[in-house]
Amino acid sequence: MRVLVVGGGAIGMLSAQRLAEAGLEVHLLDQGPLGQESSWAGGGIVSPLYPWRYSPAVTALAHWSQDFYPALGERLRHETGIDPEVHVTGLYWLDLEDEAEALAWAAREKRPLEAVDIGSVHQAVPALGPGFSRALFMSGVANVRNPRLLASLRAALLRMPNVVLEESRAATGFVREGGRIVGVSTPSGDLRADRVVVAAGAWSGKLLATLGLELPVKPMKGQMILYKCAEDFLPRMVMADGRYAIPRRDGHILVGSTLEDVGFDKTPTEEALASLKASAEALLPALAGAEVVRHWAGLRPGSPEGIPYIGPVPSCEGLWLNCGHFRNGLVLAPASCQLFADLLLEREPIIDPAPYAPAGRIG
């Protein structure tokens, strides 16, 4: 079987890797360089920002992926020499309004989330600002250095003889024979395959619209900023009022993010920069004197309730989806791509696939 994967972010590359490991011929293409869109632009926290606020469908994928990430990071480092830096720090949530709901969720799901004394938080994170009164902490939460994860995935795919990677080649539509999808059209000619997989992130809805299908996935802009501090400046991830600070191993600190419904505009704005700096300085006052190393924007694939679309499209034989992960693409990628591969290869799925099925969810 020859499979064509459209979209070269974390979801597309991991999907390609899973299929190639099963012996399939895989052709992956992206409209730009691989791994340069939403997967690159996010923070890389290996947890939904507020996991108790999501549906059981998102929770099931998140739990599987969180348990899988350390082994994935080590395997990619060993195979490619590029360390994705799966960095286990734990995460503090400060002054939550729904603390009781969070703790009830943790008890139900058996996750290590607990209330901690604010004094102990200041001891663990000396740089934390004043004014916070309550905290929850979850140990074991990691962040992954997403640009390095994407680089290692690309390197791993390049080593596989049954994988073809094509960058800067956009899919503009689909090739149909009768009611079956047999490929995609591109500006430089058609590409054909036995199965076509749309893993094109925020562009997935736009591509499926060429078939007259209404996939409720749209771009949601997010802006972030990056600081460089001492390596021991921030030993834990911290989050308050919807904004977070993430430490990398080398002392880089990411602060994000905005959530803007402005179409495909990725232009960073001064308004967002000021807002992110204010959040950064409220969390970590010492950042007031630090230089912003970088400020950027990316486009998340927004979807209803953040539940991705994983599986075949019933009205278009040969067409499959693995898209619509909204803010949790990196979090959910290992489980989503394993589930996708299980379905396409007709294996026993790792979790119940019903909540993610495109059937009944697209127009």
Distance CA 119, CA 121 (A): 5
Please state whether the peptide bond connecting residue 204 to the residue before it is cis, i.e. omega within 30 degrees of 0: no
Distance CA 85, CA 150 (A): 11
Give residue 205's pLDDT: 97
Nearest to 343 by CA among 363, 314, 305, 302: 314
Pairing, β 195-198 against β 2-6: parallel
145 vs 41, 44, 80, 82, 247, CA distance in Å?
A: 11, 6, 15, 11, 10
Helical spans, DSSP H, in the chain: 10-21, 38-41, 56-80, 99-109, 118-124, 146-158, 204-208, 270-283, 329-344
Which residues, other chains included, contact 265 with Cβ-Cβ below 8 Å and sequence gap of 6+? 221
Pairing, β 243-247 against β 237-240: antiparallel
> How is domain 1-86+143-216+304-363 classified at the CATH fold level?
FAD/NAD(P)-binding domain (3.50.50)
- The string of DSSP letters for 212-276 reads T-----EEEEEEEEEEE--TTS-SSEEEETTEEEEE-TTSEEEEE---B--TT-----HHHHHHH
Give residue 100's pLDDT: 97
Distance CA 225, CA 45 (A): 15
Structure-token match 């979790």, residue found: 351
Give residue 363's pLDDT: 77
What CA dihedral angle connects 16, 257, 124 and 143, to 10 degrees?
Answer: 0
Q: Is 357 helix (H, G, I), strand (E, B) or coil?
A: coil
**Residue 251 half-sphere exposure, CB side, CA atoms within 13 Å?**
9
- The string of DSSP letters for 86-106 reads -EE--EEEES-TTHHHHHHHH
Distance CA 317, CA 162 (A): 24
Nearest to 61 by CA among 282, 315, 309, 361: 309
Give residue 193's pLDDT: 98
Nearest to 259 by CA among 219, 225, 304, 312: 219
Q: What pTM, to 2 d.p., does this model score? A: 0.96
Q: Is 290 helix (H, G, I), strand (E, B) or coil?
A: coil
Nearest to 122 by CA among 136, 108, 112, 132: 132
Cβ of 1: how many Cβ atoms within 10 Å?
13
Distance CA 145, CA 123 (A): 26
Spell out a b/e string for 47-70, using b for 16 or more CB atoms within 10 Å of the CB, else e: bbbebbebeebbbbbbbbbbebbe
Give residue 323's pLDDT: 98
As to burial, measured by CB atoms within 10 angstroms (0-12 exposed, 13-18 middle, 19+ buried), residue 123 is: exposed
Q: State the DSSP code for 32.
A: S
Distance CA 206, CA 342 (A): 26
pLDDT digit of tens for each residue in the chain (363 aa)?
999 999 999 999 999 999 999 999 999 999 999 999 999 999 999 999 999 999 999 999 999 999 899 999 999 999 999 999 999 999 999 999 999 999 999 999 999 999 999 999 999 999 999 999 999 999 999 999 999 999 999 999 999 999 999 999 999 999 999 889 999 999 999 999 999 999 999 999 999 999 999 999 999 999 999 999 999 999 999 999 999 999 999 999 999 999 999 999 999 999 999 999 999 999 999 999 899 999 999 999 999 999 999 999 999 999 999 999 999 999 999 999 999 999 999 999 999 999 999 999 997
Structure-token match 């997935």, residue found: 204
